[in-house]
Chains A and B, each alone.
Chain A
Amino acid sequence: MSLSARWVIGTWLALLLACIVVISRTEIRTDLSAFLPSSPTPAQQILVDQLRDGVVSRLILIGIEGGETPALALASKRLARQLRQQQSFASVDNGEGAAFTRDREFLWRNRYLLSPAISAEHFSSAALRAALEDDLQLLGSPAAMLLQRVLPNDPTGELLRLLEQFEGLAKPDSREGVWFSKDGKRALLVAQSRAAGYDLDAQEQALKSIRDAFSNAPAAGNIAAQKLLLSGPAVFSVNSRASIKTDAWRFSLIATVLVATLLLALYRSWRVLVLGLLPVASGALAGIAAVSLGFGSVHGITLGFGVTLIGEGVDYAIYLFTQIAPGTTPEKTLDRIWPTLRLGVLTSICGFSAMLLSSFPGLAQLGLFSIAGLIVAVAVTRYVLPILLPSGFTVHATAVLAPAVATVVQRAPRLRLPLILVVVLAAAFLIVQRGALWSGDLASLSPIAISDQRLDAQLRRDIGAPDVRHLIVVTAENQDLALEAAEKAAAALQRLSQRGLLEGFESPALYLPSLAVQHARQAALPEPWALRANLQHAQQGLPFRAGLFEPFVHDVTAAKQQPLLNRDSLQGTSLALKLDSLLVKRSNGWAAMLPLRGVADAAALGQEIEQPARKQAVLLDLKRESDQLYRTYRREITHFSLLGAGVIALLLLISLRSARRVFDVMAPLAAAVIVTAGVLVLTGTALSIFHLIGLLLVVAVGSNYALFFDRQTASAQDRERTIVSLVFANVTTVIGFGLLAFSKVPVLNAIGSTVGIGAILSLVFSAILITRAHDTAVSRR
C-alpha cells in the first residue's frame, strides 16, 4: 500500500471514528416536534405543547371486551384497583362512584364560591321567594327524592346549578357501576400517566404495567375470552415506534439478504460484497453525525428516511465494480465514469439541498443528512474502494449479459410513441384528479396503522370524549390572571351563545374561579341576621316549617369565612384533571383553554372574540390549524422539489453545455415521476408527503441512469458495460424498496411503492428516450 493510500485509509477511518463519537453522544428524539414548524404561530405552539406533554397526550383509553357484562365489569374494577396503586398513573377512571362522590363533595362544600349565580341580589327576599316557589314545584317531581335531602341547606339550588353546568359534557354509559360502550360489549377505563406524552420509554412502561395488571388479575368468569384494548396518543407513539422498528428491520434484513445474494453471484467475492456496502455505511454515519452537529439532536424519522434517501449510495459501488473491464484497473474505470458519477451526485445534492431551507426541522434534517451522506459515500467510492479492491477484479457477468441487454436497449426507442402517449394520459389523469390527489389532513403523516386509528375512534366514541375542534385560548402572566381572562372570554361567549353563534362552552374558571371572582362572591354573601330576615319575609304564605332553613343560614355564614380555593383544593377530584387540561403552564406564562361546542359560525365568532380590546384571546380551530400545518408542509416540499428541479436543470446546463442534452436527461425523469404518480393515484392511493419524498429519491437515483445513458462512451463495449451496471443497480434498488411496499406501516409503504415503481420506470424510460451513437453498435473511432 502506497503512502498516499495509507493517508486515504487513515483519514477515512479517523472520520468514521469521529462520526461514531459524535453519534454516541447524540440524542435521538421520537416526538412529533420534527413535524412541526420551527417558528410556530401561537396557535401552532399550543397544538405542539398539547401534543408533547398536554393532558391529552397522557391519556390511555382502555377497553375490555369478550364475555358477559358482569364479568367485564368485575375485570374493570379489578384492573382499576390494581392500577390505582401504581405510581405511574396520575389517575385511573372507570366510572366507579369513588371519583364522582369526591367531585360532588367538593362542589357541595364550595358551592357558594363556585356558583355563577351568586350576587347580593341572589339573597334578597324577592329572589329567595322565587327560589322557594320553585322548590315547591320541584317537590312534586321525581327529583323531590334528592331535593328533600339538600333543601334545608340549599334552597337556592346551587348544587343543582353546578351539576347542570357540567351536565352538558358527554359521559359514557354505565353498567354494573362502571363505564361501558353503548352496546354493553366493552368495559371502558381512562388512565392518565404521570409521565409526559413524549417520554416514550416511560409510556411504554406504563402500557406494560396495564397489560401485566390485566393478565395477573384473579380470574373473573371466563377470563380467557377477555381481551384488553389500548389506545391513545401514548399507545400510538409506542406502537408506531415498535412497528417501524420491526418492519424496517425485517424488510431491510430480507432486502439485504436478497441483494447480497445477487451481488455475491455477480462479484463471486465476499470481500468485494462487503466493500460494496462501505460507501453507504460510511455515508449513513456521516449523515447522522452531520445532523447531530447541525441540529443538536436527531429525529428518529430522519434516521429512517435518511438512510433511505442515500440508498443511491449502494449504486455507486455497483457502477464501479461492474464496469471494470477485464485487464484494466479500478482507477482507470473511475477515470472514465467519474465525471458522470460526480454529476450524478451533484444532481442529487441539488435536489436535496432545497430541503435545507425548510422551516420544518424534520425536512431540513433530512436534507442535511442526505447531502452529507452522499458526499461521503461518493468520496469513499472514489478514493477508498480502489485501494481495497483485489487486483485484477472484474465482473464476468457483465460481459455475459452485455449483448442481450444491448439488444433490448437498441430496440427500446421503438416504444417512444407509446411512451409519450402513456405520459400524456398520466399527466391528463393527474390534472383531472388534481383536487383529490392529496390526502388532505395531518393524519396522513401519522405512522399509525389504519386499524389502530379505527380502534381509537371507536373507544373515543364510547367514552364520549368530544372531538375538540374549536377552542378559545387566552394567555396571561400567571395562573390567576389567566383565569380572570377566561372569565372575561366566558362572559363574551355567553352573549354570543344567546345570539346562536355557538351552543356552549367549557372554561377552567368553572372548576376554579379567579381569586377576584371568588372574593366578589364571598363579599356578596349576606350576614346571618340579614339572611334570616329575608328568608322570613320570603317564606310568608308558603307551607315550609319554621326554622327549616337554619342549615342554609349556617352554610352561607361558613362560606363567607372559608379560605378561597386554589388548584390544590381540587386534588383528588376528577375536576382537577379537567382543570389541568384546560389551564396549562407555558414557557412564558399561563394559557387557559375554553373548548366550544356546536360552533355555528366560526368566522363571526372569531371576529367577536378577537377584538383588539381582548387581544389576548384567540379562536383556535384545531382541525383547520393542523390541516393548515400539513398544507404548509406539503406546499413547502413541493416548492422545494420544483426549486431543486430548477437547480438541477441549471447544473446540467452548465456541465453538459447543451440544452438538447439537458432535455434528454430530464425528459425520462419527468416522465417517470408523472407516470409513477399516475399509477399510485390510479390504484386509489391518496398522495402524502412520503410519496413526495419517494419521488425525490426517484429523481436522485434516476438522474444517474439518465446521465450514464447520456454519457459519450469510448466504445460500444464500454456503453454495454455501463448499461448492464445500470440494470444491476436498478435491480438492487427495486428489491430494497419494492419490499417496503409490503409493509403495513403507511410511511414505509408509501416510500416503498413510489421508489419501487419509479426506479424501474426511470431506467426503462431512459433506455427508450436517450439514444446515442453507440446504440447502433458503431464505434466512433
Chain B
Amino acid sequence: MHRVAGALIIAAFGAALAAAAAAQAAPAATWGIDELMQNLARVKIAKAKFVERKYLSMLNAPLEFSGTLIYTAPGRLEKHTLLPKPESLVLDHDTLTLENKARNQRRTLRLQDYPVIWAFVESIRSTLAGDMQTLTRFYRTSLEGGEDQWRLSLTPAEPKMQSMVSEIRIGGSRNRIRTIEIIETEGNRSVMTITEDES
C-alpha cells in the first residue's frame, strides 16, 4: 500500500518537474506579454532594496527615499522606507496601511475609496503578481524588448487617472523588476531602482 502511494507521489512529482522544464525551454520567439506575466506570477515571494528619486515641480531639489520592498503573492506588498525617515507602507488586498512608528501614527485607507491611489498601486502589484486582468482594467499596456531585458509601458485607461499620470514604465529582466518610472502630467517624475536583496 505504502509502496503504491510512494510511486504515485514520485510519478506526480516527476510530471510537475517535466512541465516546469518544458516551460523553461519554451522558444524565445513566442515570448510576449502573456509569457512575461506567467513568469512574474511564478514568483511567490521576493525581497529587494530600493532607491526612489522624486522630481517634483513644487520642490527645488529631488527627494530621495531608500529602503526595502517585500512582495508576497498574490496580494501583499510591503514598502519599508528607512531613509530619510523610517516609515512603512503595507498593501494587503484592498487596504493600504501607512505606519510611522516614530510618531506612533497609523493610517489605513480602503483602496476603493481612493480610485487614483488604487490604480497607482495596482500598476506595481498586478505586475508583480502577473495579474493581466487587473492590470488591463486600469491601464493600456505595451511591451518592448525581450525576455532578458523588457520594458512594460502602462498608460492609464480612466480619465481621472489620465489627468494625473501620463505613463508608468516598468523595466526588468526575466521575472525580476529593475526600475519603475512614473511620469505625471504636471511635470513631476519619480524613478525607483530596485536591486536584488542578497540576504
Q: Do A and B come from one complex?
A: yes
Which residues of A lie under 8 Å from residue B84 when comparing CB positions?
137
Q: Using known A-B contacts A148-B188, A151-B58, determine if residue A141 contacts B89 with beta carbons closer than 8 Å.
A: yes
Q: How far is the CA of A137 from the CA of B99 in the complex (A)?
A: 12
Partner pick for B56 among A137, A141, A148, CB 8 A cutoff: A148
Stretch of A393-401, A543-551, A672-680 lying at the B interface: A543-551
- CB contacts under 8 Å to A, within B117-145, are 117, 120-121
A173 to B84, CA, bound (A): 36
Query: In the complex, are the beta carbons of B54 and A142 less than 8 A apart?
Result: no
Q: How far is the CA of A146 from the CA of B188 in the complex (A)?
A: 13
Q: B118: nearest residue on chain A (CB-CB)? A: A142
Tell me whether B59 and A544 are in contact (CB under 8 A). Answer: yes
0/1 string, A121-150, CB within 8 A of B gives 1: 000000000000000110111111110100
Nearest chain-A residue to B120 (Cβ)?
A142
The yes or no answer to A66 lying at the interface (CB within 8 A) is no
Q: Contacts A137-B87, A173-B112; is A143 near B98 (CB within 8 Å)?
A: yes
Residues of A within 8 A of B108 (CB): 167
Q: Which residues of A contact B85 (CB under 8 A)?
A: 137
Q: Could you tell me if B98 and A545 are in contact, using CB atoms closer than 8 angstroms?
A: no
In angstroms, Cα B57 to Cα A391, docked, is: 110
A772 within 8 A of B: no
Pair A145/B165 contact, Cβ less than 8 Å: yes
Residues of B within 8 A of A167 (CB): 108-109
**Cβ A543 vs Cβ B60 within 8 A:** yes
7 smallest CB-CB distances across A and B, nearest first, come from A543-B59, A543-B61, A140-B65, A543-B60, A174-B112, A142-B117, A142-B120
Chain A residues with Cβ below 8 Å from B3 are none
CB distance from B82 to the nearest CB of A (A): 12
A245 within 8 A of B: no
Query: Which partner residue on chain A sits nearest B116 by CB separation?
Result: A145
Q: Does A171 contact B (CB under 8 A)?
A: yes
Say which residue of A142, A148, A151, A164 sits within 8 Å of B89 (CB atoms). A142
Residue in contact with A140 in the complex, picked from B52, B107, B110, CB distance below 8 Å: B52
User: With an 8 A cutoff between CB atoms, is A152 at the interface?
Assistant: yes
Count, A-B residue pairs, CB within 8 A: 61
Q: Please determine whether B117 and A146 come into contact, CB atoms closer than 8 angstroms.
A: yes
Residues of B within 8 A of A174 (CB): 112-113
Closest chain B residue, CB of each to CB of A151: B58
User: In the complex, what distance in Å separates the CA atom of A174 from the CA atom of B54?
Assistant: 32
What are 5 residue pairs bridging A and B, where the CB atoms are less than 8 Å apart in the complex?
A137-B85, A141-B98, A145-B120, A152-B58, A545-B60
Q: How distant is the Cα of A606 from the Cα of B99 in the complex, in angstroms?
A: 33
Contacts of B96 in A (CB 8 A): 142
B86-112 vs A, Cβ < 8 Å mask (1 yes, 0 no)? 010100000010101000000111101
| Alpha-carbon distance A167/B96, docked complex (angstroms) | 13
B164 at the binding interface (Cβ < 8 Å): yes
A contacts, CB < 8 Å to B: 136-137, 139-146, 148, 151-152, 164, 167, 171, 173-174, 543-545, 548
A145-B164, A544-B60 known; 13 new pairs, CB 8 Å cut-off, are A137-B84, A140-B52, A140-B63, A141-B89, A142-B96, A145-B116, A145-B165, A145-B184, A148-B56, A148-B186, A173-B112, A543-B60, A548-B58
Q: How far is the CA of A143 from the CA of B84 in the complex (A)?
A: 18
B residues near A140, Cβ cutoff 8 Å: 52, 54, 63, 65, 81, 87
| Chain B residues near A152 (CB-CB < 8 A) | 58
Q: In the complex, what distance in Å separates the CA atom of A442 from the CA atom of B22?
A: 67
**Are A141 and B87 in contact (CB-based, < 8 A)?**
yes
List the A residue with the shortest CB-CB distance to B62.
Answer: A543
Closest to A164 in B: B107
When chains A and B are docked, how far (Å) is the Cα of A543 from the Cα of B60?
5
CB distance from A174 to the nearest CB of B (A): 5
Which chain A residues lie closer than 8 Å to B65 at the CB level?
140
CA distance A136 to B120 in the complex (A): 19
- With the chains together, A146 CA to B107 CA distance in Å? 15
Q: B113, A171: Cβ atoms under 8 Å?
A: yes
Contacts of A144 on B, CB cut-off 8 Å? 54
Bound complex: CA of A521 vs CA of B60, how far in Å?
33
CA distance A171 to B58 in the complex (A): 35
Closest chain B CB from A658 CB (angstroms): 78
Q: Residue B58 contacts which of A137, A164, A545 (CB distance < 8 angstroms)?
A: A545
- In this complex, what residue of A is CB-closest to B81? A140
Nearest CB in chain A to that of B119: its residue: A145
What A residues does B110 contact at CB under 8 A? 171
- How far, in angstroms, from A429 to B48 measured CA to CA in the complex? 69
Would you give the shortest CB distance from A70 to chain B, in whole angstroms? 13
Residue of chain B at shortest CB distance from A548: B58
Are A143 and B117 in touch, CB under 8 angstroms? yes
Given A140-B63, A164-B107, A174-B112, decide whether A148 and B165 contact each other with a Cβ distance below 8 A. Answer: no
A143 vs B96: C-alpha distance when bound (angstroms)? 10
Give, as a whole number of angstroms, the nearest-CB distance from A126 to chain B. 15
CB-defined contacts of A543 to chain B, threshold 8 Å: 59-61, 63
- Cβ-closest chain A residue relative to B188: A148
Q: In whole angstroms, what is the CA distance A136 to B89 when docked?
A: 15
Inter-chain contact B121/A142, CB cutoff 8 Å:
yes
CA distance A462 to B138 in the complex (A): 26
User: In the bound complex, how far is the Cα of B199 from the Cα of A752, in angstroms?
Assistant: 76
Which chain B residue shows the least CB distance to A140?
B65
Bound Cα distance A156, B57 (Å): 19
Q: Which residues of the partner chain B approach A548 to less than 8 Å between Cβ atoms?
A: 58
Chain B residues near A139 (CB, 8 Å)?
54, 56, 63
Q: Residue of A at shortest CB range from B87?
A: A137
Which B residues are CB-close (under 8 A) to A141? 87, 89, 98
Q: Which residue of A lies closest to B67 (CB)?
A: A140
Q: Is the beta-carbon distance between B117 and A545 smaller than 8 angstroms?
A: no
In chain B, what residue has the closest Cβ to A133?
B85
